[in-house]
Structure 1
């Protein structure tokens, strides 16, 4: 286990896919970054919602900005994987609902 950014961020092989996360939690730096940059949550809201130390949430954003290209690339790859998976494995429920609508 590698501790990064003092005691707030850690990277552990086999935990959360080895992605950087809030120490002692399974909430990744990418999760915090998405909530803040894309969903519009304030850092204080994130800390309160998930019962995290505010310093850890700020450390996660500092880590994100230091490693932004890598984290954003991984988020894009994850999203692409999901799209390919959805195309290769269509939802049985969605297929059934579509069939019902067309009847």
Structure 2
């Protein structure tokens, strides 16, 4: 599995969870929420402080998902 595919495996799209919005797997944190924070100037470190249950790779997965 290449790097992007490995990252994308951290994203879940399930019609029964968060109305099918892409989320970080195992969490109800939307990809769009994380991307919105980053686009607004919030650093990865600040997002990790706000959401201590996720990892840096989860944020990178959100970025990779947005790039697809």
Confirm or deny a common fold (TM above 0.5): yes
Q: Could you say what the CA RMSD is over the residues aligned between the two structures, in angstroms?
A: 1.4
Q: TM-score, normalised by structure 2?
A: 0.79
Larger Cα Rg: Structure 1 or Structure 2?
A: 1
Moved segments of 4+, more than 3 Å: none
Structure 2 match to 1:18? 20
Q: Relative contact order, CA 8 A, sep 6+: which one is greater? A: 2
Q: TM-score, normalised by structure 1?
A: 0.54
Write out per-residue CA displacement over residues 18-70 of structure 1, whole angstroms, 9 at most, x where no aligned residue: 011111111110000101102x111122122101111011111110122xxxx
Which structure shows the bigger proportion of residues in helix conformation? 1
